[in-house]
Amino acid sequence: MSKPILTLTTDFGLADHFVGAMKGVILGICPQAQLVDITHEVLPFDIPQAGFLLAQAWSRFPTKTVHLVIVDPGVGTSRRPILAVAGGHTFVAPDNGVLSMIYSRHPHKVRAITAEKYFLQPVSQTFHGRDIFAPVAAYLAQGTPPARFGKLIQDYLRKDFDHPVRTGKRFWTGAILHIDRFGNLITNYNIDEFPQLTSRPFVLKAGFQAISRLVRNYAECEPGQLAAVVGSSGYLEIFANQASAAKMLGCGVGAPLELTIY
């Protein structure tokens, strides 16, 4: 029989003891867990970026994987811990919209986590990752059924960060969801929603620059030149071959991107 897989996506970074302490808690409950970091370098409190990164990785794992997602600006307030089941996987997260991209693409069931007997006592005011989310994820990986943790809810928080807003017949305002290691800007324009980008002229304004070229792969572009490409995730990416588009444009995560299609 395979070992249960448990992934972690957080904004905790790797320079603290936070991730190590959570893994200790998890292995104490579910010693056979296979732990996999998706990333811990989400920008602090950046819920859309965490939602995007999770969405790019989770479905590559085998079904029954448990995904622990903690970006939690509301720790210590009344925001609820939740668990969601979708696509044969299970997700544990604060109820702050971080799972929105999963909700909008897959049938899902969401539960409020209320069964305190699964928590680490005493629950600290500042580290629910260790005291609530990690043990719940570990018990789920261990095989405890989702229904044991709390009741189904309908009023969980949804956010719409992964769709540009239409602002006119030919105009949209989107945003940068993520900047990758290579300085590529990943936008929230998905080719499935904007198929006309492959056949019609367009202008995408980012910072002081306008991009109007869509290529098939990075190497098609001369080194240092800006263009757009359909990334491995289906989202339009702005890149500069063998250079950092982020540095060339001076844009950060969350910056607006105005699209005009002619």
Q: Which stretch binds a copy of itself (CB under 8 A): 17-25, 160-168, 169-177, 206-214?
A: 17-25
Helix (H, G, I), strand (E, B) or coil at 36: strand
Binding mask of the shown chain, residues 106 to 145, with x at each position contacting a copy of itself by CB under 8 A: ------------------xxxx--xx--------------
Task: Kindly tell me which of 3 and 166 has the beta carbon lying closer to a copy of itself.
Answer: 3
Strands (E), 115-213: 165-166, 171-179, 185-190, 202-206, 209-211
Q: Given strand 34-39, what is the order of strands in its sheet?
A: 34-39, 5-10, 66-70, 89-94, 81-86, 108-112
Task: Kindly tell me which of 116 and 220 has the beta carbon lying closer to a copy of itself.
Answer: 220
Enumerate residues 68-87 that contact a copy of itself by CB under 8 A.
73-77
| Cβ neighbours of residue 15 closer than 8 Å, sequence gap 6 or more | none
Give the separation between CA 152 and CA 78, rounded to whole angstroms.
Answer: 18
User: Of residues 157, 209, 218, 258, which one binds a copy of itself by CB under 8 A?
Assistant: 218
Query: Which residues partner with 130 through β-bridges?
Result: none
Q: Which residues bind a copy of itself (CB under 8 A)?
A: 2-3, 5, 7, 9, 11-25, 27-28, 31-32, 34-41, 44-45, 53-54, 56-62, 65, 73-77, 124-127, 130-131, 178, 180-182, 216-220, 229-232, 242
